[in-house]
């Protein structure tokens, strides 16, 4: 049974501008494991990765019904790939019963999260 659905979209240019100023955004958004994945990427993929994770975490907060804030912080949400590349959601270190899909074009990144009971 579906417990919640969340969707988010973000402009890559917006994320790139914030990331160019300092590393604060990426340190706030990405977990240590996600940051290691980010750092291993070629430069042109880094913004897509960061924007995709931002959108996915926002979508997760919407699917939970809390949004990002006191009860659901970016640092609590982690999206890690299985060996096949499929993204898997974790909240407070525990795998979430649900699905996440992340996509991007040359100008935007978007994500959808479906949570199950």
- Residue 69: its pLDDT value, please? 86
Residue-range definition of the domain harbouring residue 65? 2-116
101: three-class secondary structure by DSSP: strand
Model-level pTM greater than 0.75? yes
Residue 112's DSSP bridge partners are: 7, 101
33, 46, 57, 62: the active-site residue? 62
Helices then strands, counting H and E runs in the chain, come out as: 4, 6
Q: CATH number of the domain that 8 lies in?
A: 3.90.470.20
- CA dist 116 and 87 (Å) reads 16
- CA dist 94 and 72 (Å) reads 14
Q: What domain count does the chain have?
A: 1
32, 94, 104, 117: the active-site residue? 104
Tens digit of each residue's pLDDT, the chain (117 residues): 999 999 999 999 999 999 999 999 999 999 999 999 999 999 889 999 999 999 999 999 999 998 898 889 999 999 999 999 999 999 999 999 999 999 999 999 999 999 999
Active site (annotated) includes residue 44: no
């Amino acid at each position: 049974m579906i417990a919640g659905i969340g969707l988010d979209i973000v402009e890559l240019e917006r994320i790139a501008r914030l990331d160019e100023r300092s590393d604060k955004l990426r340190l706030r958004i990405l977990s240590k494991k996600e940051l290691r994945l980010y750092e291993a990427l070629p430069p042109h993929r880094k913004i897509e990765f960061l924007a995709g994770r931002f959108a996915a975490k926002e979508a997760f907060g919407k699917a939970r019904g809390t949004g990002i804030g006191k009860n659901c912080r970016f640092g609590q949400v982690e999206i890690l790939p299985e060996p096949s590349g499929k993204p898997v959601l974790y909240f407070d270190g525990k795998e979430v019963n649900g699905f996440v899909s992340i996509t991007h074009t040359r100008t935007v990144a978007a994500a959808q999260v479906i949570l199950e009971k």
